[in-house]
Structure 1
Amino acid sequence: MDRSTFLARLLGPTFFTVGLGMLVNLDGYRNVIAEGLHFGVLFYLSGLLSMIAGLAIINLHNKWQADWRVVITVLGWLMTIGGFFRMVLPKVAIATGSIIYAGRASIVVAALMVGTLGAFLSFKGYMRRA
């Protein structure tokens, strides 16, 4: 199994589950997001874990090809950049997150985007023929 398929199999179900969980438990996720947009140890830890995961993806899979695999590379870079901002510029990260998750509709849109991305990566990882 190549790295792209492995990462798609890892990230796809995870993103799909997060998106589905957000839709099914919308009010709960609103509370989680509200609590998460305050600087503290959990905010910092989420940045640290995001940066580590993003750097792992970048170091294993920095492929800028014009096919589906670039999605994994872009996710790695976004995770790394997001982790950096949460650890180094937390006020900027909190302000940005507060704008993105301003209301119920934005959480639904985010859930649909994350869930669709997860379904796409799951399909590529599990249904792709060699």
Structure 2
Amino acid sequence: MHKSKSLAGIIGPTLIVMVASELKLWNPTLYDDQIVPLIYLSGVLFFVAGLAIVHSHNIWVLHWPVVITLLGWLSMALGLLRMFFPQAYQGNFSNDISAMVVEIILISIGFFLSFKAYWPQIRQEK
């Protein structure tokens, strides 16, 4: 559980800050000029981050730590997609509503993980 809290304490705030900085409110032209080498590079970074998470935290339980494992596997899959098909990924999420839904989901996961990592656990006395 300590490893899960440590990883949640890193992944949660990182998700919040990364996704919030990509919102069209702050960076309206961020994805206008997507170039293939940068899409490939971000794919490599996503893949390595996902692989590190899965390597250190491949925990399949019916409890909140499985969210970290799922994020690791999804990050690896997204990285592979960006590495092998950067042209197909270019211009994806041109629909503002679908992008906003994904951003809200990711920020919610970030807040959930941050809550699990930093909120003090209340122990019940018997």
Which TM-score applies when normalising by structure 2?
0.83
Q: Aligned residue for 2:2?
A: 2
Q: Aligned residue for 1:35?
A: 33
Point out the structure with the larger helix share.
Answer: 1
Q: Which has the larger radius of gyration?
A: 2
Q: How does 1:1-130 map to 2 (within 5 A)?
A: 2-23=2-23, 25-26=24-25, 28=27, 30-36=28-34, 38-40=35-37, 42-94=38-90, 98=92, 101-129=93-121
Higher relative contact order (CA 8 A, sep 6+): 1
Percent identity of paired positions between Structure 1 and Structure 2:
38
Deviations 1:79-123 (A, max 9, x none): 1111111112323433xx61xx12222232222111111100000
The amino acid across from 1:75 in the alignment is: L
Q: Say what the alpha-carbon RMSD is for the aligned residues.
A: 2.1
Deviations 1:54-75 (A, max 9, x none): 0000000001101111110010
Contact 1:63-1:73 at 8 Å conserved across structures: yes
Where does structure 1 differ by over 4 angstroms across 4 or more consecutive aligned residues? none
The amino acid across from 1:123 in the alignment is: F
Structure 1: 5+ residue stretches without partners: none
CA distance in 2: counterparts of 1:80 and 1:128, whole angstroms: 31
Structure 2: 5+ residue stretches without partners: none
Contact 1:55-1:76 at 8 Å conserved across structures: yes
Offset at residue 128 of structure 1 (A):
4.8
